[in-house]
Every structure is written in structure tokens, then in C-alpha cells.
């Protein structure tokens, strides 16, 4: 899928109907601007040269300062992702996020930092609530929920809820 189609879908996802609403969302909607930053950075990271490297560094700085987020441009993020409160979100290099996922503030998707860096895979229709941490080569199944302040270190099956430190599957 082309970058323009992805950005158009993201804009439709974050705005109401009408040209003026889309323009307002394009310029002022913080969650949309964050995903736009990721989409452009991800696109450019696949086409690296001296000019794109400078643009990528600018985009990363803007992402860190303006949005307080650190979303790797090497991570794979699907369509219709929602960031209701996009502050403090960290998504590591090898993380994979499928379609229709909602991620609230201060969520971390990262590796354990061991010799083999394994990152989480978040499947479709998952909701990850505030300050949750999903660490290592964990797979979160479809239609699952990760509770606020939970630390997920094991796979979460489809249609289940993980809560607690460490997370317990319910």
C-alpha cells in the first residue's frame, strides 16, 4: 500500500467528514500528527541516503520533543492505529503492531535487552491501556486487552485480558 493511501486512511480515522474538518485534523490533531510522523519516517528509513538521514533525524527530534514519544521507524505499524492520549509511548525497533489497535499514554513495547533482541507482536483489535509494558518476544492475541500498569512477559491468547505485575491472563 502506498504511503499516500495509508496517510489518507489515518486522516479519515482521526477526523470527521468534511474538508474543513480534515484540514483541521491534518494540522492540529496530535494523535494524527504522531502517526503521520511515523509514516513519513518509516517510508524514508527504507530509502536511506544523506538527505533522508537528515530528514529522519529532524523527524525523530520532533517526535521526542513535541510528542514525548519514541516510536522506531523500523517498527511495523498497521492501519487504523489509535493513540487516544499520545504521550510517553515507546515502540521498539522490531515491534509489530497489526490493524485496529488502540494504545494509550506511557505504553512501552520493547525488548528485554538480552543478547537476542526479541520484540512484541500485537495482533489486531487489541487495546493497551495506560502505562502498560509489553517486553520481549511476546505475542498479544487478537481482541485482547492489556490492563493499565500491567507488565506482560508471556504470550496473551486471543480474546483475553492481561492485568497485573507480572500480568495474569484472565
Helix (H, G, I), strand (E, B) or coil at 114: coil
pLDDT digits (tens, 9 = 90+) for 38-69: 999 999 999 888 999 999 999 999 999 999 99
- pLDDT above 80: residue 85: yes
Helix (H, G, I), strand (E, B) or coil at 108: strand
- pLDDT above 90: residue 124: yes
What secondary structure does DSSP assign to 130-152, as a single string? TT-EEESS-EEPTT-EE-TT-EE
- Residues 116 and 89: their CA atoms lie apart, in Å, by 23
CATH class of the domain at 3-169 = mainly beta
pLDDT at position 158 is: 96
Work out the pLDDT band at 106, boundaries 50, 70, 90.
very high
- pLDDT above 80: residue 116: no
Q: Order of strands, edge to edge, in the sheet holding 139-140?
A: 76-77, 96-97, 121-122, 139-140
Work out the pLDDT band at 168, boundaries 50, 70, 90.
very high
Question: Would you give the distance in Å from CA 148 to the centre of its chain?
Answer: 16
- Residues 162 and 3: their CA atoms lie apart, in Å, by 34
> Can you read off the three cell numbers belonging to residue 152?
506482560
Q: How high is the mean pLDDT of the chain?
A: 92
pLDDT digits (tens, 9 = 90+) for 1-44: 688 898 988 888 888 788 888 888 888 889 999 999 999 999 99
Query: Do 98 and 122 form a contact (C-beta atoms < 8 A)?
Result: yes
- pLDDT above 80: residue 114: no
pLDDT at position 147 is: 96
What ranges do the domains of the chain cover? 3-169
pTM for this prediction: 0.89
Amino acid at each position: 500500500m502506498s504511503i499516500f493511501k495509508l496517510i489518507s486512511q489515518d486522516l479519515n480515522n482521526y477526523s470527521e467528514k468534511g474538508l474543513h474538518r480534515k484540514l483541521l485534523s491534518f494540522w492540529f490533531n496530535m494523535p494524527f500528527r504522531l502517526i503521520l510522523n511515523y509514516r513519513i519516517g518509516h517510508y524514508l528509513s527504507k530509502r536511506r541516503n544523506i538527505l533522508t538521514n537528515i530528514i529522519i533525524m529532524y523527524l525523530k527530534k520532533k517526535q521526542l520533543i513535541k510528542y514525548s514519544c519514541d516510536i522506531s521507524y523500523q517498527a511495523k505499524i498497521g492501519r487504523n492505529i489509535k493513540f487516544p492520549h499520545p504521550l510517553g509511548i515507546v515502540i521498539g525497533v522490531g515491534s509489530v503492531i497489526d490493524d485496529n489497535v488502540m494504545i494509550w499514554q506511557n505504553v512501552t513495547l520493547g525488548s528485554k535487552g538480552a543478547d537476542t533482541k526479541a520484540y512484541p507482536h500485537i495482533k489486531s483489535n487489541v487495546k493497551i491501556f495506560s502505562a502498560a509494558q509489553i517486553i520481549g518476544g511476546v505475542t498479544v492475541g487478537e481482541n485482547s486487552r492489556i490492563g493499565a500498569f500491567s507488565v506482560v512477559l508471556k504470550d496473551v491468547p486471543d480474546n483475553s485480558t492481561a492485568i497485573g505485575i507480572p500480568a495474569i491472563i484472565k
